[in-house]
Amino acid sequence: MNRARIVVLTVAICAGGVAAYLASGSDNSAPPPVAPVAQLPTVDVLVAKNDIGLGQTVKPEDVQWQTWPAATASATFIRRNERPEGATQVTGSIARAPFIQGEPIRDQKLVKPEGSGFMAAILPTGMRAISTEISPETGAGGFILPNDRVDVLLTRRLKNPDQANGAPDIVTSEIILSNIRVLAIDQAPKEKDGQNAVVGKTVTLELNPAQTATLSAARQSGTLSLALRSIVDIKMSEVTPDESAQKRDGISIIRYGIPSQTAKAR
């Protein structure tokens, strides 16, 4: 064997030994242990599943339970371990302030239907709630329910210029407000136990500011009555105060219970 082959063989044997040593060393070196991750305590809280707008009624599909770090869960949050029926309890409430998706539900931002702030929560923007006295005779016999639509009539008794000759007083009646939503009868803002009539002493109506002034003035001028509208008329446009004023140019005169020709209002 020549000397060159012996050198090559020696180098190969040395390289193989070095490689074997390195391989055995890497096998013996175990990776450093991974530090255990601390598990933070959590709690399930009720959150908004969807955005809930101001004045919107909370539905079952609007809320859900979500895991929340216990350290950051406020005492005002609704927790499943404390109120397992929380989702059912908030259903039907009115949002007094908007909720964004994922925001925890809080009782302070909700109004129950029987709560004192319920009426303000259900009023649309720019509308007012105003009450006026009624009776079975002036309130459609008690067959008016919250959310029904009514016309408001004003009846006045005027002195007849010919009264000295024994002529009776002139009785006039006109519609001063049309297609008005009933918010409540007495303090009942919704139908109860499926009843089909509510007999009360006051009715609360939803009016805009101009209509509120019209109703307030009318209460001092005569007797107010409510005429219940058909449910198919709900989407009909309501009579504006200006239109009501124009209608006063022609008023039906009722003498002895019999309507006569339309006469000019004075």
Q: What is the pLDDT of residue 11?
A: 67
Domain range enclosing 49: 42-120
Same domain, 111 and 129: no
CATH number at residue 66: 3.90.1210.10
Residue tagged 């949002």 (tokens)? 95
The reported pLDDT for the residue numbered 123 is: 78
Q: Looking at residue 238, what is its pLDDT?
A: 45
Residuewise pLDDT in 10s, the chain (266 residues) = 567 667 666 767 777 766 666 666 554 555 667 666 667 899 999 999 999 987 788 999 999 999 999 888 899 999 999 999 999 999 988 888 889 999 999 988 888 866 666 777 777 888 888 888 876 666 565 678 888 889 999 988 877 766 666 667 778 888 999 999 888 887 555 555 555 555 567 888 999 999 999 998 888 888 888 888 887 766 654 444 444 444 444 444 433 333 444 444 33
Same-domain check for residues 152 and 243: yes
pLDDT at 259: 43
Do 142 and 99 share a structural domain? no
Query: Is residue 129, in this structure, part of any structural domain at all?
Result: yes
Residue where a domain terminates, one of 57, 91, 120: 120
Amino acid 134: pLDDT? 78
Does 220 lie in the same domain as 99? no
Same-domain status, 258 and 131 = yes
45-75: b or e for each residue (b if 16 or more CB lie within 10 Å)? Answer: bbbbbeebeebbebeeebbebbebeeeebee
Q: Is residue 109 part of a domain?
A: yes
Q: How many domains does the chain have?
A: 2
Say yes or no: 145 and 228 in one domain.
yes
pLDDT value for 254: 38
Do 50 and 161 lie in one domain? The reply is no
How many CB atoms sit inside 10 A of residue 224's CB? 20
- Both 90 and 163 in one domain: the answer is no
* 249 lies in the same domain as 140: yes
Taking the whole predicted model, whether its pTM rises above 0.75 is answered as: no
Q: Please state, in angstroms and rounded to a whole number, the distance separating the CA atoms of residues 28 and 119.
A: 77
